[in-house]
A = this chain, B = another copy of it.
Amino acid sequence: MREEVGFSFELTDSDGRTAARRGFISTPHGMAETPLFMPVATQATVKAMRPEQVADLGFRVVLANAYHLMLRPGVEVVADAGGVAAFMGWEGPVLTDSGGYQVMSLGSGVRITPEGAHFRSHLDGSSVFLSPESSMEAQAALGADIAMALDECLPHGADRSTTEASLALNADWARRCLAAHHAEGQALFGIVQGGTHPDLRERGADLMAPLGFAGFGLGGLSVGEPRGLTLELVERTVARLPAERPRYLMGVGDPAGLLGAIALGVDMFDSVLPTRLARNASALVGYGRLNLRNACYGRDATPLDPDCDCYTCSGFTRAYLRHLVMAKEILGFHLLTVHNLRSVSRLLERAREAIRDGDLDTLLRESHADRELRR
């Protein structure tokens, strides 16, 4: 454990030919090089993984969901344990998502008022009220190194006037989050919304940029719009945000999406993709995917990915992994999760090296991310 008490972000390299940049964040629970990817520990566990196995795969920060932990086991239980990291045995920084996205995607009977979000728990139907103030309180109690402001997350395809109204509400909630944020050493990130309207994304960024957040999430993206549009919206947003603050593209984890956004100057990512694909028998191999339910792997004695250095690829054949998956054996989900997470961490390692070497273009071409970028 380091002696720092606060959060800082430092840039060390930039790719000459793109907007990509390299650096590191420092938090009360340690440092992490950027660009970084955060495995998702929704319920205070990265699904099917021991905590130190996640670290051994090359990750330094995990993301936990304040929404889920508030509903189960309850913030007090986690606080009693000394916070999410201590509760789950994670020896590193934790970012907590505020719950705005989960209210929209999981809550029922959601009613948004100027005060906050009223909804019913997806677990037991009980009424819950989440406000900027209560979200800050919860994330402080959860002991996050990085907390996220509470935002209203509109469903994909929201029209222009709904989106404009939501931007105003989010700006108000953002100010209230900042006012209510007192957790020592904890950084608070704002979240820029704006739907799929490029000018509203810019307005969202303009509203958030001056408020004094330690970093900025880009929310509500990659939820159904074409990849090229996602990257255009990222590019427009990033252009309006302060260069010296980290930019965090929320919910993106596919190889081309990661590399495209890195080329636009994004520093942080999270996504359930690698862990969720694993539970669907799907492996990230190269820049593509391989589904072990396909009968052609039934007698395939090769590893998932011969170029991968992970535990799974070092010891097990596709035939065995397919057998585990077909038999719904827990070990199959674990082994695929290990591989998929390692696949993402290797990609980030390569991206950081490429930025240092001024050669991100090679990765962009390999992954075909270059085809989606406006150059």
Contacts and interface: CB of A to CB of B under 8 A. Distances in A.
Contacts of A334: 48, 50, 330, 334
A57 interface: no
Given A73-B319, A319-B73, A330 B329 contact: no
Identical chains bound together, number: 2
A317 B81 contact: yes
Contact of A48 (B73, B77, B81, B331): B331
Contact of A326 (B48, B72, B315): B72
A87 B301 CA distance: 10
A315 B332 CA distance: 24
Contact of A319 (B47, B80, B301): B80
A339 to B, nearest CB: 13
Contacts of A298: 73, 77
A89 B330 contact: no
A120 interface: no
Interface in A70-86: 72-73, 77, 80-81
A323 B80 contact: no
Contact of A81 (B43, B80, B320): B320
Nearest to A314: B89
A281 B77 CA distance: 19
A45 interface: yes
A323 B47 contact: no
Contacts of A43: 323-324, 327, 329
Given A73-B298, A298-B77, A319-B77, A330 B333 contact: yes
A331 B87 contact: no
A330 B48 contact: yes
Contact of A80 (B299, B324, B331): B299
A88 interface: yes
Interface string A92-131: 0000000000000000000000000000000000000000
A49 interface: yes
A316 interface: yes
Given A50-B331, A301-B80, A331-B50, A45 B89 contact: no
A44 interface: yes
B44 A77 contact: no
A324 B78 CA distance: 12
A334 B316 CA distance: 19
Given A48-B330, A89-B315, 16 more contacts: A43-B324, A43-B329, A44-B320, A44-B323, A47-B329, A47-B330, A47-B331, A48-B331, A49-B331, A50-B311, A50-B334, A72-B326, A73-B319, A73-B323, A87-B323, A334-B334
21 contacts: A43-B327, A43-B329, A44-B320, A45-B324, A45-B329, A45-B332, A47-B330, A50-B331, A72-B323, A72-B326, A72-B327, A73-B326, A77-B319, A77-B323, A81-B320, A87-B319, A87-B320, A89-B315, A89-B316, A89-B320, A334-B334
